[in-house]
Amino acid sequence: MKSIIVFLVAVMIPAGSCHSALDLKENEIMDKDILQLVQQNDISGVTKALENGANVNAADSDRRSLLLIATIGKQIEMAKLLVKYKADVNLQADNKDNAFLYAGASGQTELVQLYLNNGARFDVFNRYNGSALIPACERGHIETVRLLANTKNFPIDHINRLGWTALMEAIVLGDGSRKYQEIVQILKDAGAKMDIPDHDGVTPLQHAQSKGFKEIAAIIKS
């Protein structure tokens, strides 16, 4: 009787299904391991894992890719290693962040350049429907702004969900200090339009004047 039951179970289970389930479990374990190694900034461990077939585009429970995790941690060498193994710089997490967008927002110019060199897309936006340039302007990351504003075909005049361009964000959320003056000048020199209004029809010049940013107003008018 026992042999008959074993035979029936064997017949009912599709060939290779146990093998597939084991493979899936092994892959999940491998992804978990490499996630931990990236978080620990273990270059040697990650290299070995990738050489042994670990998924370079593995992600955590929030769908943050290995590359995004490395970028958040400002782990430049780790990011370079992952890109070497063809990590996708455009993969977005649940909150819409990706390695390229986060690098721009956090002013990591070296990583921004690395991602530009490795397929960063300009039509993938953050949760505010913003580009990598817009938060870089808001936060005063001059060199990142300079790089992105002068990158061929970058959407320098993209408007986010708030109705703001990079220029508008530098004015509305900036403090009018020298670094924001420089950012406005960089944007202007790169060909950004100086007169795109917000959703309420208020122009960058009007915002600058209302906030008392005389130097910025002068740059816009010049």
Give the residue, 13 or 134, on which the prediction is more confident: 134
Strand partners of residue 41: none
Q: Is 9's pLDDT higher than 90? A: no
CB of 118 closer than 8 Å to CB of 152: no
- What is the Cα gyration radius of the chain? 24
Average confidence score pLDDT of the chain: 91
Q: Is 27's pLDDT higher than 90? A: no
Q: Is 54's pLDDT higher than 80? A: yes
DSSP state for residue 218 in the 8-state scheme: H
Does residue 56 fall inside a structural domain?
no
| Average pLDDT of span 208-217 | 98
For 111-136, the pLDDT digits (tens) are: 999 999 999 999 999 999 999 999 99
Does residue 117 fall inside a structural domain?
no
- Across 91-188, the runs of DSSP E, i.e. the strands, are none
Q: What angle do CA 202, 129, 191 make, to 5 degrees?
A: 60
For residue 218, the tally of other CB atoms under 10 A from its CB is 13
Does residue 143 fall inside a structural domain?
yes
Cα separation, 78 vs 160, whole angstroms: 31
Does residue 145 fall inside a structural domain?
yes
Residue 209 sits in a domain of what CATH number? Answer: 1.25.40.20
Give the position of tokens 């430049």: 76
Cα separation, 176 vs 194, whole angstroms: 16
Q: How many domains does the chain have?
A: 1
For residue 169, give its domain range: 128-222
CB of 80 closer than 8 Å to CB of 114: yes
Does residue 108 fall inside a structural domain?
no
